[in-house]
Amino acid sequence: MNQALSQPQNPMRRAICMHELRQLLLLWLALAGICLVRPCTVRGQLNSLTEEAKIRSNPTEPSACGESMPSQSVEAALGLACLVERGGTPTISFRDAIVIGFVGGFVRRDDIKHPEVQFAALLRERYPSKVHAEVFANHDGKQALRSVLQLLDTNGDGVLTDSEKQKASIIIYGHSWGASQTVTLARDLGRQGIPVLLTVQVDSVRKPGHEDYTIPPNVRSAVNFYQTRGLIHGRSSVRAADPERTNIIGNFQMSYQDRQINCDNYPWISRHLNKPHHEIENDPRVWYQIASLIESRLSTATSAVEALQPPRSWPLK
């Protein structure tokens, strides 16, 4: 009798089990979608005009993605050590600049846990009268464009003169979808005849309807950091629409096989589903190099030829 009673229960148990598994799978996929943008797309081939370098790390350094680690590691790199006195020489003089950053995924523009936001805050703190640094969500590209146009309109008459446009010193950076938006903003500025000093893409993931592969000719220099592992990974190369007008500093591959970066600014499930994509965003080496590039572009003592060259510390091992 026990056997007779148990038989009709087995299909019911199996049905309940399958339902629970489906629910768990749907929850997992939903969380994966929330954690970051979208599945990676087919990447373009490395352009022959660009330079590729792998920057590997010291395997003896501690910390792992998700482990408790002092947050000062990224902040130390964001302290812009390259933007201070060198060898007893006077502090470098900087031109007035507009620096625009874009966060990736669904990160808020004011989320101080993310390096993009920290970077802008430190620029504002160190150069309050020289650098206007502002961060936007990657879906707020139009708002960012309006902000730049207002800042360039120095006389406030609502019309940008050729002189106001050519005086522009604009740097744009971003991670993931924010990196894709970086190129879009540069292109929008180019349509209005406004030059851009530098674009920085960190593990760029193309947004639907956007194109993050070709750097528009109004951009003077561009650099692309990427990694190739994980569910979501960045574009491996960018190219110049006009190589005579735009210098592609390089497409630099970051490796995290021997070294992991603390990325506890993301939820646990996100860190484990997209770990390398978040590690490159939180990598102090990447931000040190970005700071060094900004120094070379904004220094009034830098010649036009020198401004097209990578900094001496490139790449940081």
Question: How do residues 269-295 score in pLDDT, each as one tens digit?
Answer: 777 778 888 889 999 889 989 988 988
pLDDT on residue 79: 52
Predicted pLDDT of residue 273: 78
Mean of all residue pLDDT scores within the chain: 74
Averaged pLDDT, 34-59: 35
CA distance 308 to 310: 7
CA dihedral for 248, 291, 288, 178, sign (positive or negative): negative
**Residues β-bridged to residue 214:** 239
- Per DSSP, helices labelled H in the chain are 2-35, 72-78, 115-126, 141-152, 162-166, 177-191, 268-273, 275-281, 284-298
The pair phi, psi for residue 98, each rounded to 5°, is: -115, 120
Chain segment 244-268, per-residue pLDDT in tens: 999 999 999 998 888 878 878 887 7
pLDDT band for 73, please (50, 70, 90 cuts): low
Which ranges in 97-176 belong to alpha helices (H)? Answer: 115-126, 141-152, 162-166
Tokens linked to 250:
């390089």
In tens, the pLDDT along 106-158 reads 899 999 889 999 999 988 888 888 899 999 999 999 999 999 999 999 888 88
Note the maximum CA span of the chain.
94
* Parallel/antiparallel/unpaired status of strands 219-226 and 247-254: parallel
pLDDT value for 300: 62
Identity of the amino acid at 131: V
Question: Bigger pLDDT: 30 or 12?
Answer: 12
- Coil, strand or helix: which one is 150? helix
Please give the model's pTM, rounded to 2 decimal places: 0.72
pLDDT one-digit tens code per residue, 218-237: 999 999 999 998 788 889 99
Structural domains in the chain? Answer: 54-308 (3.40.50)
